[in-house]
Amino acid sequence: PGISNEDKTRLFQPNFSTKKAGMGLGLTIVNTIIADHNGMINVQDNSPRGAKFVIELPV
C-alpha cells in the first residue's frame, strides 16, 4: 500500500507529516473545508500500489 495503516489513522491530524520539511497542515485544511461543506474524505489503498483519496460532497 502507498500509506501504512498506522499513518492512515493520523493523516488528517494537524502537524502530521511523513516529510522532513512538511508542516502537516495540507490534509488538515482539506479535511476542514470538506467537513464545513458537510462532506467526507477518506483514503484507500490503490492496487497494485499507491493510495487514492475519495471525497464525497452532498449535492
Q: Are 45 and 51 in contact (CB under 8 A)?
A: yes
pTM for the full model? Answer: 0.85
Q: Is pLDDT above 80 for 44?
A: yes
Query: What DSSP string runs through 13-49?
Result: STT--SSTT--S-HHHHHHHHHHHTT-EEEEEE-TTS
How much is the average pLDDT of 35-51? 95
**For residues 11 and 46, what is the distance between their CA atoms, to the nearest angstrom?**
16
21-30 mean pLDDT: 95
Query: What pLDDT is stored for residue 1 in this prediction?
Result: 64
> What tens digit of pLDDT does each residue of 5-17 get?
999 999 999 999 9
pLDDT given at position 17: 95
